[in-house]
Amino acid sequence: MQVSYSMEKNRRKKDISDPCHYGLFITEQKSRVSQNPDDVKAWMELGCLYEAKIAITNYFAKRNFVIRHFLPMYVLLIFSFILLLTIIGVTLPLLGWQRIGFISLLIIVAAALFLRLFSLRYPPSGRRYFRKAIALDPQCGEAYMYLGLIALRRYQKRKACRLLEQAIQLGVNSSRIKRELKSIYEREFVAFFRAKTNKETRQQEIIDRQLGQIRELRSRVSSLEGLIESLSGRVEKAKWQGRHKAKLLDKEMKDHISAIRQDYERQLVTLKQAKESEKEAKELAERDFVRLTTEVMEAKSTFEGRSPAEAARTVEDIMGSHLWKALSEQVKSYLTTAEQIYTVLLTEGEERPDYSLVGMELCKALETEINRILVEPFCRYLNGNKGEFLKINQTGENRGRPSYFIYLAMVVDRENFPEVTSLTLGQYHFVLKRTLEGEYALKEYSNFLDEVCSASNVTIGSSFLKKLETVTKRYRNTIVHQSAMNREEFDHMRELIFGGEEALLNSMISTHKSS
């Protein structure tokens, strides 16, 4: 069963501006639950309302000094109020029992006010309602997710980890769950290796004590050598035994340290590969989402009268016909689609349209051209040096296949990695940055770039890298995390990719035409 915050989001957009407004919604939801107590969705929505009330209360608390410092401000206010009324009570001609009754009444009012303000500042959570949903449906994964987030908010990390893992096992796919579990696992990982370090320290202390004993024995033998000449044979034997024992201890310690180091490196490689696999799966899903959304926008733009041919002519006028003709058909399609949807967004009249989908089309065009001009020709450039290049980049093995320092080596190694045929913008940015820094493993790729640039008088250097880094880190990474892009950001990105005189596509096409 999938339950969402759609109800809360719609209400926030309309009229929710204060945590107290949730009281009416909670009352209505409780009425629905009482009418149908076996409805799991109703219990979940009731718990979500309580959690939303806590969230908006904390939101206001962070931005309001009085609410954020509720307890000290309340104590100061009550103290001042009591002091003022006490002064007034002393000056008034009251009898003893009247003064006692007055102060008692004041204390009761202050306590009631404190309890009321405390309930407003720290409203109850929806934990009991999520537990009710689980009691009705043990397979309700999102109820476990919300219980885990509540436990994490209360600093119950082990309980939160158990509940979030159970939510994932029941099919809940949430980036927040993965992010929180990753944080918990990283802390456990650090604690594990910290314990390993403490164990090695204790072992080193034992060895130091043993070495100290050996040095003491050597000193005693050395002092007895001059006094007892008849025991010189036994002294030499004792020396040999001491040296042999030291060598054995030294060899044993080196073997032990080597085993620990190998185990540590294997675990690091495994974690790195798991992280890369998860990243690739996430990126594929994001690409599918962008592709489907782009098709919808293309259909909409065609319906509204902006033809692909007009958009293509616009891009050709910006780049110039000689550069436009040198582009691949796939890249022309991406640029045409981007320009077509861009025009639709300009004419829709929305107050703040989102240009992130158009920006993704430009990123796809740039990524395709980079692979066509700067990656695929490198595989042909290597020829007989392919084995040497892969050998330099290899860092180990995993499941019968080599592990490489960079993704470029996986593109070259078609035998072991037939599925890796191209690089993403982030992967190529890493390759180009390490190449320009003089990385030894990328010496062959540096020679390839020098040859391409010398033939075209176009430099693939620091300026090119800086523009690529802006597109990749500032815009492309923001888009894939589903963040909005405004028009100013898109215009800047458009200029960097094909709109400016020294745009990235223009530079690459110049090198390709010369080669």
Express each pLDDT in 81-115 by its tens digit.
Answer: 667 666 665 555 554 566 666 667 767 776 666 66
What pLDDT shows up at residue 277? 66
How many Å is the Cα radius of gyration of the chain? 35
Q: Which residues pair with 401 in a beta bridge?
A: 398
* Cα–Cα distance measured from residue 142 to residue 77, given in angstroms and rounded to the nearest whole number: 42
What's the average model confidence in pLDDT over 274-302? 56
Separation of first and last alpha carbons in the chain:
58
Structure tokens at 405: 């320092």
* Residue 333: pLDDT band with limits 50, 70, 90: confident
pLDDT in tens, 129-157: 888 888 888 888 888 888 888 888 887 88
- pLDDT for the residue 305: 45
Mean pLDDT of the chain: 76
Give me 333's structure tokens.
């399609």
The HSE-up count of residue 100 (CA atoms within 13 Å, CB side) is 3
Query: In the chain, what is the greatest distance between 2 CA atoms, to the nearest angstrom?
Result: 113
pLDDT at 8: 44
Whether the CB-CB separation of 505 and 498 falls below 8 Å is answered with yes
DSSP string, 410-448: HHH-TTT-TT-----HHHHHHHHHHHHTT-GGGHHHHHH
Output the six-digit token pair for 186.
Answer: 């990283």
CB 249 within 8 A of CB 206: no
| Environment class of 268 (CB within 10 Å of its CB; exposed 0-12, middle 13-18, buried 19+) | exposed
Report whether 344 contacts 301 (CB < 8 A).
yes
Cα(419)–Cα(102) distance, integer angstroms: 83
Q: Are 160 and 184 in contact (CB under 8 A)?
A: yes
| pLDDT tens per residue, range 370-409 | 898 888 888 888 877 888 888 888 888 887 888 888 888 8
Distance (Å, whole) CA 336 – CA 309: 8
This prediction has a pTM of: 0.45
Measured in whole angstroms, how far is the alpha carbon of residue 7 from the centre of its chain? 28
pLDDT at 288: 54
Q: How far is CA 442 from CA 29, 38, 276, 423, in A?
A: 63, 64, 21, 15
Pair 479, 485: CB distance under 8 Å = yes
The answer to whether residue 2 scores a pLDDT higher than 80 is: no
H or E segment and range at residue 381: helix 376-382
Q: Give 10's pLDDT tier (boundaries 50, 70, 90).
A: very low
pLDDT of residue 74: 64
Lowest mean pLDDT among 197-206, 281-290, 417-426, 499-508: 281-290
> Could you read off the pLDDT of 160-186 as tens digits, one per residue?
888 888 888 888 777 777 777 777 777
CA nearest to 172, candidates 55, 313, 1: 1
Residue 299 to residue 315: CA distance in whole angstroms: 20
Whose tokens are 């990390």? That residue is 157
Whether 492 shows a pLDDT value over 70: the answer reads: yes
Whether 36 has a pLDDT exceeding 60, the answer reads yes
Question: From the DSSP assignment, how many helices (H) and strands (E) are in the chain?
Answer: 24, 2
CA 7 to each of CA 174, 246, 416: distance values in angstroms, whole numbers, following the listed order: 19, 73, 50
pLDDT tens, position by position, 212-237:
888 888 888 877 777 777 777 777 77
Residue 55 pLDDT exceeds 50: yes
Task: Identify the band that residue 12 occupies on the pLDDT scale cut at 50, 70 and 90.
Answer: very low
Q: What are 441-470's pLDDT values in tens digits?
A: 888 888 888 887 876 666 788 888 898 899
Task: Mean pLDDT check: name the lowest of 45-54, 115-124, 187-196.
Answer: 115-124
What is the rounded distance in angstroms from the CA atom of residue 251 to the CA atom of residue 299? 72
Decide: 243 and 215 in contact? Cβ < 8 Å. no
* Amino acid of residue 100: I
Pick from 373, 337, 379, 332: nearest CA to 358: 337
For the chain, the structural domain boundaries read 6-137, 195-275, 304-514
Check residue 296 and give its pLDDT. Answer: 47
Helix (H, G, I), strand (E, B) or coil at 125: coil
